[in-house]
Amino acid sequence: MTLSSSQDKSSVRFSLALLSSFLLLSLALGACKKAAPHTSDPQLEGIDQLLAKQLPPGTTMDRVVTFLHVRGYEMRDATAPHTVVAIVHHINPQTIQPEAARVTFRFDNDLKLLTYDLQPAPTLPIR
């Protein structure tokens, strides 16, 4: 084996290690990326973060309804099939301000959560 052959193998190993490190870093950053917000309204960020954490895509409709019921959120009549509508009230822990949203949850044919939409709603008075 000549010196240049050894250097070529070393160079290839280094390139493969560098490429592997880059791919692992890319995957790690992609996994840590925040979910896309469901609203552009900054006053609804707290509700969006709560729902994104507690009810990720794929959550069953029964689990979503239980989540809403246990917290006492008002359910509304849904006008479209495979949807659940609720009024969600929340105190944003970062701003210590009340937030309220009309949330429409959308489900697939297997009743698994696809996404949800947030619209501002009147807040309840703080007692």
Q: Does 17 score more than 70 pLDDT?
A: no
Number of domains in the chain: 2
- Angle CA 61–65–70, to nearest 5: 150
Is 108 a domain residue?
yes
Residue of 125 and 103 predicted with greater confidence: 103
pLDDT of 3 strictly over 90: no
Per-residue pLDDT of 70-112, as tens digits, reads 999 999 998 899 999 999 998 878 778 888 999 999 999 999 9
Indicate the pLDDT class of residue 21, thresholds 50, 70 and 90: low
Is 62 a residue whose pLDDT tops 70? Answer: yes
Token pair 């008075």: residue: 125
Residue 23 maps to a domain:
yes
**Whether 75 and 103 share a structural domain:** yes
pTM metric for this prediction: 0.67
* Residues 66 and 104 placed together within one structural domain of the fold: yes
